Amino acid sequence: MLAGERIRAFWQPGCTSCLRMKEFLTQHGVEYESINVHGNPAGMEQLRELGARSVPIVARGDRFVFAQSLGDVIKFLDLDIRLPERLSPDNLIQKIDLVLTAAARYVQQIPNEWLDRPFRNRARPIRVLGHHLFRIPDAFLEAVQGQGRPLTYELIMQEPPPALRTGADIAQYGTDVLARVKAWWASYPDRSCQGMMDTYFGRHRMHEVLERTAWHPAQHSRQIMLILDSLGIEPNGRLTAADYAGLPLPEKAWDDEPARG
């Protein structure tokens, strides 16, 4: 890394990959300027000037890298860091099963009058968060079953349809997604997932994208439990650190840190 180069990290609250990126940089002693783009036109303008449209982003000068893949961040910053070995694809599918099944229970516990309210410092309705949790594996399926269709940001960030109004509606959607994931995996021939996938954060082996398809909703399930805790509702069958073991999750469930310069 060249002396004097300023590292910028672009993020927004509630973003799982953003929090993981910031924790990773801090844990490895990388000094950076933290830019929260949520409700920050100046920060968004800096992001657009780079040519990026989404977060998380790590930038150095006028160059940037999507930070969904920590391996890409390591290469971009020329860090001497080795990431832990991934869980096997079979184990990742088991984690997806565990997480989606639990999340379907949790979203039904949230009172319907709360679903269109935002949570903490992110102007996103809880209903959208709940749908997004299940949309992540659904978008993955659409990409892998779409004969080379890329996993785009628009695909994964689709808004919930109007019919998904209640927690029960969202839970049913999640149950249907999980059934399709399990059916796909039961007949998928590449059990090591070594094929390549085009995604909105670069071209990666399916094994890495599948890992993200497991840990990303797992982090959101932690956030749903946090919402229930804030409402004084005990999550039905609370997932524990042992349940999440092996997934590269952030330490915290939610990013409440202000931007720092």
Distance separating alpha carbons of residues 167 and 235, to the nearest angstrom: 14
Q: Where in the chain is the domain with CATH 3.40.30.10?
A: 7-77
What is 7-77's CATH number?
Answer: 3.40.30.10
State the DSSP code for 236. Answer: T
E strand spans, the chain:
7-11, 33-36, 57-60, 63-66, 118-119, 122-125, 196-199, 202-205
What is the percent of the chain where pLDDT is above 70? Answer: 97
pTM: 0.91
Note the pLDDT tens digit of each residue in 85-111: 999 999 999 999 999 999 999 999 999
Distance separating alpha carbons of residues 217 and 71, to the nearest angstrom: 20
Q: CB under 8 Å to 41, separation ≥6 — which residues?
A: none
For CA atoms 116, 212, 258, 233, give the dihedral sign. Answer: positive
Note the pLDDT tens digit of each residue in 177-223: 999 999 999 999 999 999 999 999 999 999 999 999 999 999 999 99
What is 89-244's CATH number?
Answer: 1.20.120.450
